[in-house]
Amino acid sequence: MSNLTKSQEELADLLLNTKTTAKVIRRQQKEDGSYYLEESSRPTSPIDFSEDPGEFALKIHEVKPDAPLSPIYVNLRNLPDEVLTKIAQVLSEVHLETPQDFCTGVPKAALVIAKKFSEVAGIPFMDVFEKIGQNTDRKIVIKEGFKPKPDTKLLVIDDVIAHGKSKLEALTAAKKVGFYVNMLVLIDREQGGVEQVEKEGCRVYAAMKLTNILDYYMEKNMITKEQYEKSIEYLSKSKV
């Protein structure tokens, strides 16, 4: 059983059936056996499955190019308003143990999600972070001049959590300037990121687990058995 709520099922449908043109990173191999990453664009769904032997390269492949490729990709950028509104609804249904003063998004993908969530949940949005640097040198920092009141509760929103590295960057930066931080993500890829972040003392709320979404798709015959099995196997073997 997928264990999804009705609104989560409606969102899962949209994430599989909505098509946008999105960036896809493929891993290619040189004659000497080494790898390089190649960027291209193709029509994809927010949750999509590999069509090419080189798909999908993720952030981890920037530092570990020989890591196993992911047969499933979650890309929540450039979404139509209908999908963003449903995402915000699903996020707003998550029970938070303590009231939050403000919400923000991890740049850049989650900013538009956090703004829509703010409208639906009634938690004021605050633009806190910026991303500096390029490629493997990029990092997330607090915008200059931010000095919150002591123990201001900040709910940091992101689209997906996998291994947790970028989340820890954002949360550490926010805590350093005095925010009391919790995190809310839409999809947990169940690759160890939640556990990594919670080790550092930050509570992570995840609206949906990727395996539950895959279970739902399989129950409804929306994906093939091969897509399901490859994805489940990959997720189970790629935890940190």
Per-residue pLDDT tens for 151-178? 899 999 999 998 777 788 888 888 888 8
Q: Please provide the distance, in angstroms rounded to a whole number, between the alpha carbons at the two ends of the chain.
A: 26
Q: Is 150 exposed, middle or buried (0-12, 13-18, 19+ CB in 10 A)?
A: exposed
pLDDT of 159 reads 94
| Residue ranges of the chain whose pLDDT lies below 50 | none
**Of 200, 211, 215, 197, nearest in space to 158 by CA:** 197
pTM: 0.91
pLDDT of residue 203: 92
pLDDT for residue 135: 61
Q: What is the pLDDT of residue 118?
A: 97
Residue 27 confidence (pLDDT): 94
What SS3 class is residue 98?
coil
Helix or strand run (H / E) with residue 128: none
Q: What is the per-residue pLDDT for 2?
A: 67
